[in-house]
Amino acid sequence: MTVIVRDVRPEDAGGFARVRRAAFPYMLATAEQTAAAWAHAHPDARARPLVAVTEDGDVIGTAEVALAHESPEPGIGSVNVGVDPAHRGRGAGALLLRAAEEHLAERGATTLYSWVLDTPGDRAFAGRHGYAPSRSARFLRLDLASAALPPRREPPAGVELRTAAGFATDPRPLFELDAATSADEPGDVAAVLDDYAHWLATTWSNPLLDRELSVVAVVDGVPAAFTAALTDGLGRYGSGMTGTAPAFRGRGLAKLVKNESLHRARAAGCREAFTGNDAANGPMLAVNAWFGYEVAATEVRHVRTLG
């Protein structure tokens, strides 16, 4: 059966999200979130999401394709391909990758990064297409319905716990906290978070963001640590980001906000919790192990230089 690769259409959002969930079951994806990501892609990213479809129009593969517009280093692109496990071996992945590489090369990309599942088949696919392994990341899962969460505790003196919903009238302090905590996050590509309008559209207004479950630790009136909670309406909870501003690290605030968020999530009916950490992010890996998260999958970031 013929496989066709093309640009996404609005009606593809549901199929795109379905394939992402099938290919990466530890990641949250919904049609609403997918459509919002397409609508609010930064113009400098030159994003071009792609789908692989059958002759009947069924989406069986996806590709997220963009330039790393937040990086101070020019010429960096990313392509992340996912194929429905029920339809692998039909060439969809190779077709998607080729179209993505051509798009990025035409727009000046010279270095391409791609996350690849740490399985023999996926790593072999990457190697055949000229990608070499770089750093790794772990995806973790917690059975939230039965997890023995640490008991809730009163915050220390001078520390107040608030939800992100409490910042609805002015979320800029959360943007500034997100920027401060993201600045030294481990990764291959440095990123500078400095576009407030884009952050409002893509992070604060992300349909997956649950502001009532996202918790912020405020120290003497200053937002110091936070955990962003994502939910998909299917009983699944994801940690979008957990971080502490450099001046407040070493005080247990990440554990404090995450524990409060997990308790709130369970009370709201979430049954599974997912998160992801770079393998070099020892502090957050330790925090998540403390809560009982276990490794669900490993991805290896691969890189290819276009010549």
CB count within 10 Å of CB 92 equals 27
One domain for residues 163 and 252: yes
User: What's the token pair of residue 18?
Assistant: 């379905």
Residue 115 lies in a domain: no
| pLDDT score for 190 | 58
- Whether 129 maps to a domain, the answer reads no
Rounded to whole angstroms, how far apart are CA atoms 75 and 89? 31
Q: What is the pLDDT of residues 32-78, one digit of tens each?
A: 999 999 999 999 999 999 999 999 999 999 999 999 988 888 999 99
CA angle 178, 65, 87 (to 5 degrees): 115
Give the DSSP H/E element, type plus range, for residue 160: strand 159-163
| The length of the chain, given as a count of residues | 307
Average pLDDT for residues 81-89, to the nearest whole number? Answer: 97
Same domain, yes or no, for 220 and 268?
yes
pLDDT tens string 190-232: 567 889 999 999 999 999 999 999 999 999 999 999 999 999 9
CB 116 within 8 A of CB 299: yes
Residue 220 falls inside a structural domain: yes
- Please indicate, yes or no, if residue 303 is contained in any of the structural domains: no
Q: Are residues 151 and 263 in the same domain?
A: yes
Averaged pLDDT, 144-169 = 95
Q: What is the pLDDT of residue 194?
A: 87
Q: What pLDDT shows up at residue 187?
A: 60
- Spacing of C-alpha 141 from chain mean position: 14
Pair (15, 161) in one structural domain: no
pLDDT of 177 higher than 80: yes
Predicted pLDDT at 30 = 98
Instruction: Identify the pLDDT of residue 186.
Output: 64
Number of domains in the chain: 2
Q: Residue 184: its pLDDT value, please?
A: 73
- With a threshold of 0.85, does the pTM exceed it? yes
- Residue 189: is its pLDDT beyond 70? no
What local confidence, expressed as pLDDT, does residue 188 receive?
61
Local confidence band at 307 (pLDDT 50, 70, 90 cut-offs): confident
Are residues 86 and 162 part of one domain?
no
8 Å CB contact between 109 and 306 = yes
To the nearest whole percent, how much of the chain has pLDDT over 70? 98
Domain holding 252, by residue range, is: 142-298
Residue 307 belongs to a domain: no
Q: Which two three-digit tokens encode residue 264?
A: 């709130």
The last residue of a domain, from among 109, 130, 162: 109
Residue 110 confidence (pLDDT) above 90: yes
One domain, residues 155 and 288: yes
Average pLDDT, the chain: 95
Looking at the fold, whether 148 and 252 belong to one and the same domain comes out as yes
Query: Tens digits of per-residue pLDDT, 140-152?
Result: 999 999 999 999 9
pLDDT digits (tens, 9 = 90+) for 235-266: 999 999 999 999 999 999 999 999 999 999 99
Q: Is the dihedral of CA 14, 20, 25, 27 positive or negative?
A: negative
Whether residues 99 and 179 fall in one domain? no
- Which pLDDT belongs to residue 284? 87
The CATH number covering residue 11 comes to: 3.40.630.30
With 0-12 / 13-18 / 19 or more C-beta atoms within 10 angstroms meaning exposed / middle / buried, residue 284 is: buried
